[in-house]
Amino acid sequence: MPEIVFDNVEKSFGAVRVLEPFNLHLDDSEFTVLVGPSGCGKSTTLRILAGLETLSGGEITFDGKPISHLDPKARDIAMVFQDYALYPHMNIARNMSFALRLAKVSKSEIDDRVKRTAELLNIAHLLDRKPAELSGGQRQRVAMGRAMVRDAGTFLFDEPLSNLDAKLRAKMRTELAEMRNTIDKNMVYVTHDQVEAMTLGDRIVVMANGRIQQQGTPEELFKSPVNRFVAGFIGSPTMNFLDGELTEADGALRVRGDGFDLPLPEALATRGRAHAARTVTLGLRPSSVTLDTVPGAEIELRVVVSEYLGAQSVLVTRCGDEEVLVEANSATPIAPGTTRAFGVLTDELMIFDRESGLRI
Amino acid sequence: MAARDTNAPNPAFYALLVALVVMSAGPIVLMLATSFKLNVDIMSSTAGLFFMPTIQNYETALCDMLWYEVEHIRRCDPTFGRALVNSLIVATVSTALTLIIGCMAAYALVRFRFMGRDTVSMTTLMMRMVPPAVLLVPVFGIWTFQYGIDGTRMGLILIYTAMNLPFVVWILQSFIVQVPIQLEEAARMDGANPFQTFFLVVLPLIKPGLAAAAIFTFRVAWNEFLLGNALADRNSRTVPVTIVNSLTEYDIDWGVIMATGMLLAVPPIIFTFVASRQIITGMTAGAVKG
Task: Report pLDDT digits (tens) over B159-216.
Answer: 999 989 998 998 999 999 999 999 999 999 999 998 999 999 999 999 989 999 999 8
Instruction: Give exposure, A144-183, as e/b (b: 16+ Cβ within 10 Å).
Output: bbbbbbbebbbbbbbbbbebbeeeebeebbeebeebbeee
CB contact under 8 A, B182 and A85: yes
Q: Is A102 on the interface with B (CB under 8 A)?
A: yes
Q: Which residues, 6 or more positions from B61, have their beta carbon under 8 angstroms from its beta carbon?
A: B80, B81, B256, B259, B260, B263
- What is the reported pLDDT for B161? 93
- Order the strands of the A4-13 sheet from edge to edge: A16-26, A4-13, A57-62, A65-66
* Cβ-nearest to B286 among A52, A77, A86: A86
CA nearest to B194 within chain A = A71
From B287's Cα to the closest Cα of chain A, the distance in A is: 5
From A22's Cα to the closest Cα of chain B, the distance in A is: 24
Q: Is B219 on the interface with A (CB under 8 A)?
A: no
From B206's Cα to the closest Cα of chain A, the distance in A is: 11
Q: Is A51 on the interface with B (CB under 8 A)?
A: yes
- What is the reported pLDDT for B24? 92
Of B159, B166, B162, B164, the closest CA to residue B123 belongs to: B166
**Cα distance between residue A204 and residue A36, in whole Å:** 10
How many CB atoms are closer than 10 A to CB B17? Answer: 10
Phi, psi of B179 (to 5 degrees): -75, 120
Pick B129 or B191 by higher pLDDT. Answer: B191
Per domain, the residue ranges of chain B are: 10-54, 79-276
Whether the Cβ atoms of residue A96 and residue A118 lie closer than 8 Å to each other: yes
Whether the Cβ atoms of residue B59 and residue B66 lie closer than 8 Å to each other: yes
Q: A107-114, long-range: CB within 8 Å, 24+ apart, which pairs?
A: A113/A149, A113/A151, A114/A145, A114/A149
Cα dihedral sign, B95-B133-B232-B144: negative
**Cα distance between residue A329 and residue A317, in whole Å:** 15
- What is the reported pLDDT for A29? 84
| Beta-sheet pairing, A16-26 with A4-13 | antiparallel
**Cα distance between residue A351 and residue A349, in whole Å:** 7
pLDDT at B1 over 60: no
How many CB atoms are closer than 10 A to CB A96? Answer: 29
Q: B189-197, long-range: CB within 8 Å, 24+ apart, which pairs?
A: B189/A50, B189/A52, B189/A72, B189/A73, B189/A77, B189/A78, B189/A79, B189/A99, B190/A73, B190/A98, B190/A99, B190/A102, B190/A146, B190/A150, B191/A72, B191/A73, B191/A99, B191/A102, B191/A103, B192/A73, B192/A98, B192/A102, B193/A73, B196/A102
CB contact under 8 A, A84 and B289: yes
Whether the Cβ atoms of residue A123 and residue A92 lie closer than 8 Å to each other: yes
Q: Is B183 on the interface with A (CB under 8 A)?
A: yes
**Cα distance between residue A13 and residue A44, in whole Å:** 11
Of A244, A240, A242, A247, the closest CA to residue A269 belongs to: A247
- What is the reported pLDDT for A46? 92
B79-276 belongs to which CATH class?
Answer: mainly alpha
Which helix (H) or strand (E) element contains residue A200?
A: helix A194-200
Q: Which residues of B touch A163 (CB under 8 A)?
A: 289
Which helix (H) or strand (E) element contains residue B140?
A: helix B132-141
**Cα distance between residue A262 and residue B165, in whole Å:** 78
* Cβ-nearest to A98 among B185, B190, B282: B190
Q: Which residues of B touch A136 (CB under 8 A)?
A: 289
Which helix (H) or strand (E) element contains residue B205?
A: helix B203-205
CB contact under 8 A, A85 and B186: yes
- What is the reported pLDDT for B203? 92
**Cα distance between residue A354 and residue B106, in whole Å:** 55
| Beta-sheet pairing, A203-208 with A31-35 | parallel
From A74's Cα to the closest Cα of chain B, the distance in A is: 8
CB contact under 8 A, A139 and B283: no
CA nearest to A51 within chain B = B189
Which helix (H) or strand (E) element contains residue A172?
A: helix A166-182
Q: Is B44 on the interface with A (CB under 8 A)?
A: no
CB contact under 8 A, B186 and A87: yes
Q: Is A71 on the interface with B (CB under 8 A)?
A: yes
Complete DSSP assignment for B93-130: HHHHHHHHHHHHHHHHHHH---TTHHHHHHHHHHHTTS
Mean pLDDT of each 10-residue bin along chain A, 360 residues long? 88 89 88 90 91 90 90 89 90 93 93 91 91 88 90 89 85 84 86 89 91 91 92 90 85 84 85 78 90 84 88 88 88 84 88 86
CB contact under 8 A, A85 and B201: no
Whether the Cβ atoms of residue B229 and residue B156 lie closer than 8 Å to each other: no
Whether the Cβ atoms of residue A242 and residue A257 lie closer than 8 Å to each other: yes
A240-353 belongs to which CATH class?
Answer: mainly beta
Per domain, the residue ranges of chain A are: 4-233, 240-353
- What is the reported pLDDT for B281? 64
**Cα distance between residue B228 and residue B220, in whole Å:** 12
* Cβ-nearest to A77 among B180, B187, B189: B189
From B290's Cα to the closest Cα of chain A, the distance in A is: 8
Size of interface A-B (CB pairs under 8 A): 85
Q: Is A205 on the interface with B (CB under 8 A)?
A: no
Helix (H) and strand (E) counts for chain B?
A: 15, 0
∠ CA A136-A34-A158, nearest 5°, is 30
From B57's Cα to the closest Cα of chain A, the distance in A is: 48
Complex-level ipTM: 0.82
- 3-class secondary-structure state, position A8: strand
**Cα distance between residue B186 and residue B262, in whole Å:** 50
Whether the Cβ atoms of residue A191 and residue A115 lie closer than 8 Å to each other: no
CA nearest to A52 within chain B = B185
Whether the Cβ atoms of residue A30 and residue A218 lie closer than 8 Å to each other: no
CA nearest to B286 within chain A = A132
* Cβ-nearest to A103 among B189, B191, B201: B191
Q: Name the CATH code of domain A4-233 (choices 3.40.50.300, 2.40.30.10, 3.20.20.70, 3.40.50.150).
A: 3.40.50.300
Whether the Cβ atoms of residue A300 and residue A326 lie closer than 8 Å to each other: no
Cα dihedral sign, A248-A250-A251-A253: negative
**Cα distance between residue A343 and residue A299, in whole Å:** 6
Whether the Cβ atoms of residue A132 and residue A84 lie closer than 8 Å to each other: no
Residues of B (184-213) whose Cβ lies below 8 Å from A: 185-193, 196, 200-201, 204-205
Q: Is B233 on the interface with A (CB under 8 A)?
A: no
Phi, psi of B94 (to 5 degrees): -70, -35
CA nearest to B181 within chain A = A85
CA nearest to A130 within chain B = B286
